[in-house]
Amino acid sequence: MISLAGRDILHSWGKFVFTGMGLGLLIGVTLSMAGIYRGMVDDAKVLLDSSDADLWVVQKDTLGPYAESSSLYDDVWRRIRDMPEVERAANITYLTMQVGKQGGDVRAMVTGITPGGPGTPGWPPYLVAGRHITRSHYEAVADIASGFKLGDRIKIRRNHYTIVGLTRRMVSSNGDPMVFIPLKDAQEAQFLKDNDAIWEQRRRTAENPAFNRPGVPGLLDAVIASQSTNPYVNAVLVRVKPGYAPEEVAESIRRWKRLTVYTRSQMEEILVGKLIATSARQIFMFLVILSIVSSAIVAFIIYTLTLGKIREIAVLKLLGTKNRTIVGWIMQQSIALGLIGFVVGKISATLLMAPIFPKYVLLQPLDSVMGFIAVVMICVLSSIIAIRAALRVDPAEAIGG
């Protein structure tokens, strides 16, 4: 038996190819949306991977340091490091801000890392160019996505930093490139105010009788000095010695140090389940809408194509063609349209859309397989209206009258 659908498509291939291309661009956008969601999840995991930590110690009862703000004294890490189960512990700060560069600025997550060299929790695990930070101040390592180059001078708050190293895929959960600077500089960047604000703060403190008592010399200077330093960090990253269970160590820190501690899986849950949950829901809604639009388009196209063949269908039915042959004809055309659309969509998502999206688009093979199955199902369902129309055609129409 010859394939009616195949012959019909070959006969009017231009119509099918161009319709398929239009549908394909829509499918490409759908796949890209899925890729953006995957990219956000991957960015979150990359952030955790790059921290190279088993535990995140944060301010009590907060979801810090990524989903909520968290402040810890910067000497807490010493008590944690002294625990026998802990291999390394390091302070870290995170601050998302505009990093200035001559000719513009870039949104980045400025990360303050403790001295200690590669292997210290929080340090970038590898570089694609340059070297790690070796000086205590004014050197920075930036993710290549920031657009910075080796030797570039960047401005963070009032200080200038030289880019000495470049890394790759070191981004925040929002996809902002990370810029690593020494911890002390980062603490200052978090705290540092402009001169007017500092003068204003000092004036207010001096006018406060509680801090400027005539009988207590040196109190005002001590208060001002305490206001001029930032003894806080956002979290302590902890690496547990081999052989110890991170959950047990976390429980020990929670109980004895009275701090909140998250394991890797808990932190992943916070990032994926809470921090990017709204974005994920938005993307899911886009996926649903795009799927509905795609279905409507396929249904409309197949219905229109079928209406254009009513006479042929009537003749075929009069000549004794079985319903299943006609159903197969329409459904195969619908699926063929979907296949053309999927191929065009996959190519456009991979080669055209993913590279130009500002966010990381991760196109996973499993998503493509799921997308393919969804497209086929949508096409089958969309052809139902056309099939119903074809089955309602009266063979007597071929005879006329």
Partner 1 sequence: MTAKGIRIQGLKKRYGSGDTAVDALKNVNMHVAPGEVVGLIGPSGSGKTTLLKCLGAVIEPTAGKMILGDDVIYDDSWQVTDLRALRRDRIGFVFQAPYLIPFLDVTDNVALLPMLAGVPNAEARKRAMELLKALDVEHRAKAMPSQLSGGEQQRVAIARGLVNRPPVILADEPTAPLDSERALAVIRILNDMAKKFETAIIVVTHDEKIIPTFKRIYHIRDGVTYEEEGEGRGFE
- Contacts with partner 1 by CB under 8 A lie at 1-2, 4, 7-8, 10-12, 311-312, 315-322, 325, 394-396, 398-401
Q: How far is 144 from 171, CA to CA, in rounded Å?
A: 10
Q: How far is the CB of 171 from partner 1 (least distance, A)?
A: 53
Q: How far is the CB of 316 from partner 1 (least distance, A)?
A: 7
Which lies closer to partner 1 via its Cβ, residue 214 or residue 400? 400
Q: Which residues, at least 6 apart from 318, have a Cβ–Cβ distance to it below 8 Å?
A: 395, 396, 398, 399
Block residue for tokens 């200038």: 160
- What tokens were used for 286? 């886009």
Which lies closer to partner 1 via its Cβ, residue 72 or residue 314? 314
Q: How far is 32 from 257, CA to CA, in rounded Å?
A: 45
Which lies closer to partner 1 via its Cβ, residue 104 or residue 400? 400
Which lies closer to partner 1 via its Cβ, residue 69 or residue 325? 325
Q: How far is the CB of 344 from partner 1 (least distance, A)?
A: 23
Which lies closer to partner 1 via its Cβ, residue 4 or residue 26? 4
φ, ψ (nearest 5 deg) of residue 360 = -70, 125
Q: How far is the CB of 392 from partner 1 (least distance, A)?
A: 15
Which lies closer to partner 1 via its Cβ, residue 100 or residue 395? 395
For 273-280, which contacts have Cβ atoms below 8 Å and span 24 or more sequence positions? 274/63, 274/67, 275/44, 275/66, 275/67, 275/173, 276/40, 276/41, 276/44, 276/173, 279/37, 279/40, 280/37, 280/40
Percentages of the chain per state (helix, strand, coil), in multiples of 5: 55, 20, 30
Which lies closer to partner 1 via its Cβ, residue 229 or residue 325? 325
Which lies closer to partner 1 via its Cβ, residue 208 or residue 325? 325
- DSSP helix/strand/coil, 154: strand
Transcribe 242-310 into DSSP letters: TTS-HHHHHHHHHHHH--EEEEHHHHHIIIIIIITHHHHHHHHHHHHHHHHHHHHHHHHHHHHHHHTTH
Q: How far is the CB of 312 from partner 1 (least distance, A)?
A: 6
Q: How far is CA 307 from CA 13, 160, 303, 344, 356, in A?
A: 18, 69, 6, 26, 40
Q: How far is the CB of 8 from partner 1 (least distance, A)?
A: 5
Q: How far is the CB of 6 from partner 1 (least distance, A)?
A: 9
Which lies closer to partner 1 via its Cβ, residue 309 or residue 359? 309
Contact 1, 327 (CB under 8 A): no
Q: How far is the CB of 104 from partner 1 (least distance, A)?
A: 58
Contact 192, 34 (CB under 8 A): no
Which lies closer to partner 1 via its Cβ, residue 9 or residue 109? 9
Q: Which residues of 365-380 are buried (b: 16+ CB within 10 A; e: fewer)?
A: eebbeebbebbeebbe
Q: How far is the CB of 319 from partner 1 (least distance, A)?
A: 6
Q: How far is the CB of 324 from partner 1 (least distance, A)?
A: 11
- Which of 314, 313, 317 is closest to 333 using CA atoms? 313
Block residue for tokens 């902002």: 176
